Structure 1
Amino acid sequence: MNTQTILITGASSGIGKITAKYFAEHGWNVAATMRTPAKETELKQIPNIKLYQLDVTDEASIAKAIEDAIKDFGKIDVLINNAGYGAVGIFEKATKEQIQKQFDTNVFGVMNVTRQILPYFRAKKGGTIINVSSMGGRITFPLYSVYHATKWALEGWAESLQFEVRQFGVRIKNIEPGAIKTDFLGRSMDIFKKESLKDYDRYEEITTKNMDESYKSAPDGRVVAKTIFKAANDSSFKLRYPASPQSSMFLTLRKLLPLGVFNSIVGSVIEKGFKN
C-alpha cells in the first residue's frame, strides 16, 4: 500500500493537533510542524507522526521542515496550511503591529509555505494544498474586521491560484469552519485594547457576550478534521468545503439573501440587546 503523507502547520494545538491525530489514526504519515516541537509530548508518542520545527514567518524553517519531511517519509502528498489565530475587537483599538502580525500569520504565512512547496508539487506532477480558512472568509461579524480581512484575502488568493497550478495536477482546497470549540477564544486570540477609548464599551460588551454564547453549542475540532480528511481524499478540483452545520447554513443564507437582509439576521443575533 502506498501510504500517503501530509505536512500540517500549526499542529501543536486546536484543529491542527486534532487533524494530525485523525490522519494518523487513518493510516497516513504525518509531518506535524510547530514553532516549538520540544514542548509537544502527545504527538511524539504516535508512531506515524514526526515533529518538525516550522514558523510560517521564517522562510528558512519552512524550507528545512519540507526537506526533512520528504527525507523522512519519502514524499509529501498534501500540505495543510492550518497555522493561524484570531486578532479581534474594535478596529479603532487595534495597533498597527497587531494588524501586521495578523496578516503575517494568516495570509503571508500561508503564502510562504505554499510558495516553497509548489516547486516540489510541480516536479512530482501532483499534490493537494488545503487551507484552513473560515466561513468568515465569505461572511462577516462584528469585532472580527481584521480577522475577516485575512480570511477574505486567503479565499481570493486561493480562488485565483487554482487556475495557475491546475495544469500541474495541483489541487487547492479551502476548509471553511464556523464556530468550533478549540482554544481559539483563549490562548489563540489577540484582543484589541485601548483603555482611553470608551465610546465602544457598551457595544463591545454586548456583542462579545453574544459571540461567546454562539460558541457554547459549537462542535469540537474533530468535525473540521473529518472535513479536511474528506478534502484530502477528494481527487476533484472542488475548491470550498464548509466544515460544520453552522457554516453550511450561514454560507447558504449569504448566497440566497440580499446582503442587507443577511446582515440584519447577523445583527439580530450578535447585536441582540444593543440599540443605537
Structure 2
Amino acid sequence: MTNTSNRFNNKVAIVTGGASGIGLAIVSRLLEEGAKVVAADLNQERLDEMSKELGDSFLGQKVNVTSEGDIEKLVSTTVDHFGGLHVAFNVAGASKPGAIMDLAEEDWDFTVDLCLKGVFLSMKHEARHMLKQGGGAIVNIASLNSHVPMYAGSAYTSAKAGVEMLTRNGALEMARANIRVNAILPGLVESPLTASLVENKEINEAYMERIPFRRAAQPEEMAGPALFLASEDAGYVSGASLLVDGAWNTSGYPDMSRFF
C-alpha cells in the first residue's frame, strides 16, 4: 500500500543500513511521504544504483557505523547537502553467531560493535545536530531478541538488549532538547540478512511453530511502525519499545541448538 500523507514534507532523514532490508524499506517510505533522505551503508554499488533510481531527494553515503569519523562526516554531509536533520533511523546491524563457549572474540566484537556501538555513535552525532535546530526524532532498530534469548546468539541478543536500554537512556537525556528516542523490536523479517533462516526448510518450520502469524514479516511492515514513531503522531512518545513481531513474544523462541 502506498502512503501519500506527506507527513515528512520538508524533513531531512538519515537511515543507516539503508541499502537493503528494513533500512531500504524505510528509505522508500520516507521518500513517498515527502522527506529528503540520506542512506548510509557499506554497499557502495547498491547506493549508486539507488541514487540513479531515486533522484534528487536521495543521497547515498558509504559509511562504517562503527567509525566515529564516518558518522560525524555522515551528519555533516547530510546537513550541508539538504540543510538540516530532523529524523534518524539507526538500522545497520548483522551477526556472527556462535555458542558462548565456542564464540571467537573477534566475532563477539564484530556483532556488538556493529549492533550497539554503531547505534551509540549514530545517536550521539545525530542528536548533537538536532539540539542545534531545536529538536528531532530518533528511531533505533532493536529486536525481539532484546527480550528473548537465542541459541548461539549471545552477542546479538546482548547487543540488541543494549540498544533497547540505550534508547531509553537517550529518551531520558534528550527530552530537554526536544529530541524523542524510540525503538522498534522486529521479529523475523525476510531480508538478505535472514535469507539463510527463511530459505532453510527445517529452520523456517521451527520458527513458524513459534510465530502465531505463521509467517515472517516483510521489511515494509517494519517501515510503517518506524515512521509512526518518528512522526508528529507520536509527538508525546519517547523511550518506547514497540514489538513488531506477529505476536511472537507471546510464545518464546524455538530451540535452535539442533541446527549448530
Structure 1 length-normalised TM? 0.78
Q: Deviation of residue 214 (structure 1)?
A: 6.2
Q: Which residue of 1 aligns with 2:168?
A: 159
Is 13-22 or 38-47 further displaced after alignment? 38-47
Q: Deviation of residue 88 (structure 1)?
A: 2.3
Q: Which residue of 1 aligns with 2:33?
A: 26
Find the aligned partners of 1:4 and 1:273 in 2 and give their Cα distance: 45
Where do 1:107-122 residues align within 5 Å?
107-122=116-131
Find the aligned partners of 1:244 and 1:272 in 2 and give their Cα distance: 18
SS of structure 1 residue aligned to 2:252: helix
1:226-256 deviation digits (Å, cap 9, x = unpaired): 1111111121223222224235xx1xx4xxx
1:60-114 deviation digits (Å, cap 9, x = unpaired): 2211111111111111101111100123232222100000111110111111111
Q: Which residue of 2 aligns with 1:210?
A: 206
Is 150-159 or 234-243 further displaced after alignment? 234-243
Asked if 1:266 is matched to 2:213, the reply is no
SS of structure 1 residue aligned to 2:76: helix
Q: Which residue of 2 aligns with 1:129?
A: 138
Partner AA of 1:271 in structure 2: D
Find the aligned partners of 1:14 and 1:109 in 2 and give their Cα distance: 17
Where do 1:21-170 residues align within 5 Å?
21-44=28-51, 45-47=53-55, 48-170=57-179
Q: Which residue of 2 aligns with 1:257?
A: none
Partner AA of 2:95 in structure 1: G
CA contact (8 A) 1:179 1:214 kept: no
Is 89-98 or 217-226 further displaced after alignment? 89-98
Is 220-229 or 155-164 further displaced after alignment? 155-164
Larger Rg: 1
Where do 1:206-245 residues align within 5 Å?
210-211=206-207, 217-233=215-231, 234-238=234-238, 239-245=240-246
Q: Deviation of residue 187 (structure 1)?
A: 7.7
Compared CA separation, residues 62 and 166, structure 1 to 2 (3 A):
same
* RMSD after superposition: 2.6
* Aligned-pair identity (%): 19
Find the aligned partners of 1:273 and 1:240 in 2 and give their Cα distance: 28
Unpaired runs of 5+ residues, structure 2, are 1-5
Is 220-229 or 27-36 further displaced after alignment? 27-36
Is 165-174 or 214-223 further displaced after alignment? 214-223
Q: Which residue of 2 aligns with 1:195?
A: none
Out of 179, 186, 197, the residue aligned to residue 177 of structure 1 is 186
Find the aligned partners of 2:205 and 2:106 in 1 and give their Cα distance: 26
SS of structure 2 residue aligned to 1:129: strand
Find the aligned partners of 1:136 and 1:63 in 2 and give their Cα distance: 29
Find the aligned partners of 2:21 and 2:203 in 1 and give their Cα distance: 24
Compared CA separation, residues 179 and 187, structure 1 to 2 (3 A):
closer
Find the aligned partners of 1:59 and 1:119 in 2 and give their Cα distance: 13
Find the aligned partners of 2:123 and 2:67 in 1 and give their Cα distance: 13
1:12-69 deviation digits (Å, cap 9, x = unpaired): 2111112111111121111111124344344212122111121111222211111111
Compared CA separation, residues 242 and 42, structure 1 to 2 (3 A):
farther
SS of structure 2 residue aligned to 1:165: helix
Unpaired runs of 5+ residues, structure 1, are 189-205, 254-264
CA contact (8 A) 1:133 1:176 kept: yes
Out of 9, 14, 17, the residue aligned to residue 16 of structure 2 is 9
The alignment of Structure 1 onto Structure 2 pairs a total of residues equal to: 240
Partner AA of 2:179 in structure 1: V
